[in-house]
């Protein structure tokens, strides 16, 4: 469980290599211990999905995201839900589904204003990428302004 928690913290921190290593180790140890149904394992899957996207390993990102989405949404904590939600939006954009991705990220159960800044940043990253994919300079500017208000460079 500790490695799964750590992998999520490392994603939020932007330490993607460390997050990948922690998630991989957590998943490996869970498989070896036959704890694949462990409630905390979904955290490692969410971290692995985000990192796989960052590395443009789209198939792995979808696979890890599918593992997260097999868990009921109300069983997921807000951190995992945010990472999974943003990852899905980013993946939809890679598949050319820009409008679907924008709608997904704009109307989900998670609102940026309701999230702590670290999670709001992840959602803003996803929305900015989708806005670029949509070729929507106004939305890109809005997301850049949001980053600035959040104190992000």
Q: What region does 14 belong to: left with phi over 0, alpha with psi -120 to 50, or beta? A: left
* pTM, entire model: 0.87
Contact residues for 52 (Cβ-Cβ < 8 A; gap 6+)? 58, 60, 61, 63, 64
The whole-number pLDDT of residue 61 equals 97
Q: What is the reported pLDDT for 6?
A: 94
pLDDT of residue 151: 77
Q: 37-62 pLDDT, tens per residue?
A: 666 789 999 999 999 999 999 999 99
* Low-confidence residues of the chain: pLDDT under 70: 35-39, 108-113, 152-153
Residues whose CB falls within 8 Å of the CB of residue 105, separated by 6 or more in sequence, listed in order? 85, 86, 89, 123, 126, 127, 130
Per-residue pLDDT at 109: 62
Neighbours of 136 (CB within 10 A): 15
pLDDT at 15: 93
Q: What is the pLDDT of residue 107?
A: 77
9's tokens: 């913290």
- CA-nearest of 53, 125, 122, 46 to 80 is 46
User: Alpha-carbon distance 109 to 97, whole Å?
Assistant: 20
- Nearest CA to 146 out of 123, 126, 124, 114 is that of 124
E strand or H helix that includes residue 151: none
């Amino acid at each position: 469980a500790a490695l799964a928690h750590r992998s999520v913290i490392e994603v939020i921190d932007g330490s993607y290599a460390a997050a990948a290593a922690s998630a991989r180790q957590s998943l490996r140890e869970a498989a070896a211990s036959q704890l694949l149904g462990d409630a905390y394992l979904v955290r490692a899957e969410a971290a692995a999905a985000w990192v796989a996207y960052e590395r443009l390993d789209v198939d792995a990102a979808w696979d890890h995201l599918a593992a997260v989405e097999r868990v009921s949404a109300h069983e997921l904590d807000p951190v995992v839900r945010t990472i999974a939600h943003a990852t899905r939006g980013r993946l939809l954009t890679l598949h050319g589904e820009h409008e679907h991705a924008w709608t997904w990220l704009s109307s989900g159960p998670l609102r940026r204003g309701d999230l702590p800044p670290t999670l709001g940043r992840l959602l803003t990253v996803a929305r900015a990428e989708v806005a670029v994919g949509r070729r929507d300079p106004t939305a890109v500017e809005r997301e850049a302004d949001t980053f600035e208000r959040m104190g992000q460079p």
